[in-house]
Amino acid sequence: MWSVIATWPFSLQCVEKGGEILKSGGCALDAAEQGIHLVETDPSVDCVGRGGYLNADGELALDAAVMDGDTLKMGVVACVRGFEHPVSVARAVMEKTKHSILVGTYAEAFARRMGFQEAPPEYMITDTARRKYEQEKNTRTKPSGHDTIGCVALDQAGSLCVATSTCGSNLRLPGRVGDTPIIGSGFYAQTGVGGAAATGLGEDIMRTCCSFRTVDLMRNGMSAQDAVNTVVLTAHNTLRQCGLKPDCIALVCMDAKGNVAGACNHKGFAYACAREGEEARVVPVDPIIDKDEEQEV
């Protein structure tokens, strides 16, 4: 049995590509990485890779992560500029070094040493992204936008992995890092147990360690859907109890048998998925609690 799930409707191309690889007997890591490549390259996706939101200095800085559920090894890069596929640089950190996280200019230097081709700003920063930056840099009082592609894949050998990629929020402070490359918050996977990936406001997701908690609930016997519902609802209510107004929190997950699920605390979230015997599709998600209404639905 193979299975793949990823955040947001724009990830349909990711799960279609990943499904092709898994169907042909490929490994979960290749499926997630190569699927995410399509989204990183797509300039119409304004929250990932090329064409993504710019920071307050007008730069495109990217974050990505990969985790191998067989070994619990991970690779992370953060605030990387000038490389089209940070998810692949993250995988190289995992496979080619004894470390887990590289950031900024040091991650860029590592990418060059590994032979990754550099992409100039005129290619990575689209006219649309530049216009949005120019229109909002002097008027917007806080960052906006916080979507991520997070992909969980299970291959025919039973191995699980998770990979993530994002540009972060629009007009964020240079150097800001959200949940996407933070283990346990933006991603987690363990073969034989499950995997999860998050999308939304990184600060809220980091405060409540959503991805690890989802996997841990599955480890203790909870179904994928019950686990992800529980984590979103608990995270939302915990933030509120601490005097904070929760922002967007959404999660996707998969158990060791390839069952997938998603949950959120806001309207408009959907995920894409594909599995053995089923066509790739987009699945809308009804919020388990609505941050804008502050009541269970």
We report the CATH number of the domain holding residue 30 as 3.60.20.30
- 7, 148, 164, 199: the active-site residue: 148
Q: What is the β-pairing status of strands 74-80 and 101-103?
A: parallel
pLDDT at 297: 39
* 74: pLDDT strictly greater than 70: yes
Report H helices in 114-209.
121-124, 127-136, 202-208
- Comparing 137 with 24, the larger pLDDT belongs to 24
Across 230-239, average pLDDT: 98
Question: What pLDDT was estimated at residue 137?
Answer: 84
Residue 75 tokens, joined:
């690779």
**Letter for the amino acid at 174?**
P
3-state secondary structure of 103: strand
Q: Which residue has the tokens 């990184």?
A: 202
295 has a pLDDT exceeding 70:
no
Element spanning 128, H or E: helix 127-136
Q: What is the mean pLDDT of residues 197-219?
A: 97
At residue 294, does pLDDT exceed 80?
no
Q: What is the pLDDT at residue 189?
A: 98
Q: What is the pLDDT of residue 141?
A: 64
pLDDT at 169: 87
Tokens of 245: 């107004």
- The tokens of 259 are what? 């069952």
The residue among 297, 219, 204 whose CA lies nearest residue 250 is 204
| From 75-79, 133-137, 229-233, 291-295, the region with the lowest mean pLDDT | 291-295
Q: Tell me how many domains the chain contains.
A: 1
Domain with 203, as residue range(s), is: 3-296
For residues 224-244, average pLDDT? 97
What rounded mean pLDDT belongs to the chain? Answer: 95
- Could you tell me which residues are beta bridge partners of residue 151? 6, 163
So what's the pLDDT on residue 296? Answer: 43
Burial of 297 (0-12, 13-18, 19+ CB in 10 A): exposed
Residue 114: count other Cβ atoms within 10 Å of its Cβ: 14
Return the percentage of the chain with pLDDT > 90, whole number: 92
Residue 97 is among the residues annotated as catalytic for this protein: no
Higher-confidence residue of 142 and 130: namely: 130
Quick check: 146 pLDDT over 80?
A: no
Backbone angles phi, psi at 9, to 5 degrees: -60, -30
pLDDT of 193 strictly over 90: yes
